[in-house]
C-alpha cells in the first residue's frame, strides 16, 4: 500500500475538464513528479489532493484512509503538508514565527494552561522555537529569523514555505514548483534538500518545470496533458515517450518527430 493513492480524480470548471480521471500512487520515501505543459492541470491536481478544491470525481487515500475533499487543516494532522507555487506566507509575521506556526498542532494545549503560563506550555513553546530555528537553518534562512517575512525575496520565501511545511512533520510533502524563481545554486540546494527528505522516508510529490531537476531526482514521473494522464513511469522511460514529447512540443513537434523517425 502506498502512502498516497490517487484514483480517478477529476474536476470540471465551467464545462472544462481541468483534470480528468487521473490515478497514481506515491510510496513512502519516493519522489514522484508531475510534469506537463502549462495549463495541463498540475496545480489543480495538487489543490484537489491537498483539500483546497473539492474534487468532482475520484478518491484520495492517505495511508489507506479515504480523505477525499478533506480541508487542509484536517489533512495536516494526518501528515500531509504542501507548498504553493504562488506562496502562502504569513507576510506580517517574522520569518521565525512563520516556521513556529508550522508547529501549531504539536504545540497545542489548553487555553487555560496557556493563560497560566504553566511549565508545560513554556516547554512546548521552546520546543517549537528550537525546532523552527533548526528548520530555518536547514533551508539556510537562520540569519533572517527575526526579519519580517514580507521583506524576503521570492526564492527565500519558497524555502521558508518548505521549512513551515516540514514543521508540520509530514509523511507526505507536496511541493509546487519549489525551484521556480531560484538561481542555479539555490536550485541545486533545493534539489539536495528534496533528496535528503526522501531519504528520511518522507514521500514527495513534486510539480516542477525544471526538467533537469525532475529527471535527476524523481523515482517516478506522471505526465499530464490537458487534464489527462498521458504517461507515467521512470524518468528515463517517460522522457523517451513520443506522446510526451508531442505534448511538450505541440503538433509540430509530432510532425518533426515523424519526419525524423
Partner 1 sequence: MDAFLQFVFSGLTVGAVYALVALGFTIIYNASDVVNFAQGEFVMLGGMITWFAHDAGLPLWAAALIAIALTSLVGVALNKLAIEPARGAPVISIIIITIGASILIQGAAQLVFDKQIHRYPAFSGDAPIEVMGATILPQSIWVILGALAVFVALWLFFTRTLMGKAVLATANNRLAAQLVGIDTGGIMTLSFALSAAIGALAGVLVTPITLVSYDVGVALALKGFAGAMLGGMGNPKGALVGGLVLGLLEALTAGYLSSQYKDAVAFIVILGVLFVMPQGLFGKTAAERV
Q: Which residues bind partner 1 (CB under 8 A)?
A: 52, 71-73, 76-77, 81-82, 84, 88-93, 101-105, 107-109, 111, 114-115, 117, 150, 164-165, 167-168
CB of 177 to partner 1, least distance (A): 16
Report the nearest approach of partner 1 to the CB of residue 42 (Å): 18
Which is closer to partner 1, CB of 24 or CB of 84?
84
- How many Cβ atoms are within 10 Å of 174's Cβ, its own excluded? 25
CB of 113 to partner 1, least distance (A): 9
Kindly state the helix (H) or strand (E) to which residue 19 belongs, with its residue range.
strand 16-26
DSSP 8-state class, residue 77: G
Toward partner 1, which CB reaches closer, 158 or 220? 158
Instruction: Provide the pairing of β-strand 16-26 with 4-13.
Output: antiparallel
* Cβ distance to partner 1 smaller for residue 72 or 233: 72
Phi first, then psi: what are they for 76, rounded to 5°?
-55, -50
With beta carbons less than 8 A apart as the criterion, state whether 78 and 152 touch: no
Give the DSSP letter of residue 183. Answer: -
Q: In this complex, which beta carbon is closest to partner 1, that of residue 90 or of residue 248?
A: 90
Contact 211, 247 (CB under 8 A): no
CB of 237 to partner 1, least distance (A): 34
All three cell numbers of 215: 529527471
Amino acid at each position: 500500500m502506498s502512502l498516497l493513492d490517487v484514483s480517478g480524480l477529476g474536476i470540471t470548471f465551467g464545462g472544462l475538464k481541468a483534470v480528468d480521471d487521473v490515478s497514481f500512487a506515491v510510496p513512502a520515501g519516493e519522489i514522484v513528479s508531475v510534469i506537463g505543459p502549462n495549463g495541463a492541470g498540475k496545480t489543480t491536481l495538487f489543490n484537489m489532493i491537498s483539500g483546497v478544491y473539492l474534487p468532482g470525481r475520484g478518491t484520495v487515500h492517505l495511508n489507506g484512509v479515504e480523505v477525499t475533499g478533506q480541508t487542509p487543516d484536517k489533512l495536516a494532522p494526518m501528515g500531509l503538508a504542501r507548498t504553493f507555487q504562488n506562496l502562502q506566507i504569513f507576510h506580517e509575521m517574522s520569518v521565525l514565527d512563520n516556521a513556529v506556526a508550522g508547529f501549531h498542532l504539536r504545540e497545542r494545549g489548553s487555553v487555560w494552561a496557556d493563560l497560566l503560563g504553566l511549565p508545560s506550555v513554556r516547554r512546548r513553546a521552546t520546543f517549537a522555537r528550537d525546532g523552527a530555528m533548526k528548520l530555518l537553518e536547514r533551508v539556510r534562512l537562520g540569519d533572517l529569523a527575526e526579519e519580517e517575512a514580507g521583506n524576503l525575496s521570492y526564492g527565500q520565501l519558497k524555502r521558508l514555505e518548505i521549512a513551515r511545511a516540514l514543521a508540520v512533520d509530514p509523511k507526505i510533502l507536496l511541493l509546487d514548483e519549489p525551484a521556480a524563481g531560484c538561481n542555479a545554486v539555490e536550485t541545486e540546494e533545493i534539489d539536495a534538500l528534496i533528496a535528503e527528505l526522501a531519504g528520511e522516508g518522507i514521500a514527495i510529490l513534486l510539480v516542477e518545470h525544471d526538467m533537469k531537476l525532475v529527471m535527476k531526482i524523481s523515482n517516478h514521473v506522471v505526465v499530464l496533458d490537458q487534464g489527462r494522464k498521458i504517461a507515467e513511469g521512470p524518468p528515463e522511460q517517460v522522457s523517451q515517450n513520443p506522446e510526451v514529447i508531442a505534448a511538450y512540443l505541440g503538433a509540430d513537434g509530432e510532425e518533426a518527430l515523424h519526419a525524423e523517425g
